[in-house]
Structure 1
Amino acid sequence: MAVVWTLSSSSTPLGVPLRHPFDWLGHSLEYLVLAYALGRAGGRRGLALGLAVWFGASDEVHQAFVAGRDAGIQDWLFDLLGAWLGSRLSNKPGSRPVRRPPEDAPKVTPLAQTEFWP
């Protein structure tokens, strides 16, 4: 998120201005990576999508105050598209193995249910 915020604080984030439709591709890729990272870190793709979309909206407001940049609903929609795809890719089935104890493992009683006095 800090990288996105830093890039959007510049009038030419990559050193050269991106023309349409390449700027929309940049928005989508940027938020795809963000939502993917959030989804992998938290394991909850719905939350990752929500955070990325919210951050995209706040970033568009931020860009309205940066010289040489403008805020637009189309940019935010491409943020949304990239975030949706990134969140879906973050938790593909089989991407995170589920760890289960072996069937013959001893059952552990939680400490709260343990009796200390006979």
Structure 2
Amino acid sequence: MSRRPPQRRWWLPALALLAAIWTLSSSADTPGPPLAHPFDWLAHFVTYLALGYCLGRATGRPLTALVLAAWWGALDEVHQAFVPGREAGLTDWLFDFLGALIGAGVAGRRRSLPEEGPEA
């Protein structure tokens, strides 16, 4: 994974995703219909793919992005163990990790395009 220049404006969506993940996992009832495992794991994968990508763009370091997202996923699974009606799962975390791995990798491989204005 190659290093790209960090783009600070990507911290906003990354922090929004972190907050959304924590808020949803703090609730005993996640909004929406109950998900069967394949769809639940797909939700974990897609969410952490987005998080890995945003963190990768924000930091400019795919490995750092992967470590941050994987750490957040693990922390979130432990957190869920203490929320009534929720459970922690290693398989959930593995899908978090795989999504973050691909998201951070894509962010690291994305070619820099000319952008208007200075970096925020």
TM-score > 0.5 by shorter chain? yes
- C-alpha distance in structure 1 between counterparts of 2:74 and 2:90, whole Å: 9
For 2:54 and 2:110, the matched residues in 1 are separated by: 16
Residue 11 of structure 1 and its aligned partner are, at CA, apart by 2.4
Instruction: Summarize deviations over 1:13-53 as a string: whole Å, max 9, x none.
Output: 23322111110001111111111110011110000000000
Alpha-carbon RMSD across the aligned residues, in angstroms, is 1.3
Q: Identify the match of residue 74 of structure 2 among 45, 48, 57.
A: 57
Q: TM-score, normalised by structure 1?
A: 0.76
Partners of 1:34 and 1:8 lie apart in 2 by 15
Structure (1 or 2) with the greater helix fraction: 2
Alignment size in residue pairs: 97
Runs (4+) off by over 4 Å = none
Identity %: 59
Gaps of 5+ in 1: 98-118
Give, in whole Å, the separation in 1 of the partners of 2:70 and 2:105. Answer: 14
Bigger Rg over Cα: 1
Structure 2, unmatched stretches of 5+, are 1-17, 115-120
* Partner residue, 2:86: 69
Higher relative contact order (CA 8 A, sep 6+): 2
Partner of 2:106: 89
